[in-house]
Amino acid sequence: MQLILASASPRRRELMGLFRQPFLVRAADIDETMDPAADPWAEVGRVSRAKAMATPREADDVVVAADTIVVCQGRVLGKPHSEEEAAAMLRLLSGRDHQVMTGMTVLRGDAAETITEVTDVHFRDLSDREIRAYVATGEPMDKAGAYGIQGGGALFCTHMVGDYYNVMGLPVCRLGQMLRKTAPEWMGENL
């Protein structure tokens, strides 16, 4: 049995390292387009499940796949495609509450469990100057909602309710619970 992280994200790879157990990285190549008419909570779970199912694996391997979005005022914010789009996302988040949703699937054999973890985040009011300066760092460009809570985005967050690691892209506490059930031999005795 191998544990496979179906993600090229350096943040997810770092968070998987918290388990102090070996794992492989195999990014799944799927169409991650979400149906704008569907419930974002369900859609992010669907995408994570599709990633898990598309990952090459042996019969007894365990696959962990995740997908993260930001939802603000009913609008789904994925990764920005331009600096202008990143700035527009940050202006939308300025002074508002939003939800970070991570769909996560653990797959072993034909059995898959999918959950969606939600964390509520509040941003303080941001000035246009702050937004421009943050976008200029390049950090927002590969992150859902155009910010990284583990980086410069931490300066904007006044409070959150839920899992901090979910905002980074992988709710490790929930993942540990899922892996303890699905792959207890991988988890090790000290976790």
Q: What share of the chain is helix, strand, coil (3-state, %, to 5)?
A: 40, 25, 35
- List, run by run, the mean pLDDT of 10-residue segments along the chain (191 residues): 94 95 92 89 96 95 96 94 98 98 96 97 98 98 95 97 97 96 79 59
Give the C-alpha separation, 159 to 59, whole Å.
43
Provide the annotated active-site residues. Answer: 67
What is the predicted pLDDT for the residue at 149?
A: 96
| pLDDT at residue 56 in the model | 94
Show Cβ contacts of residue 151 under 8 Å, excluding neighbours closer than 6 positions. Answer: 139
CATH fold for the domain made of 3-187: Maf protein (3.90.950)
CA 146 to chain centroid, in Å, comes to 13
Q: Residue 189: what pLDDT?
A: 62
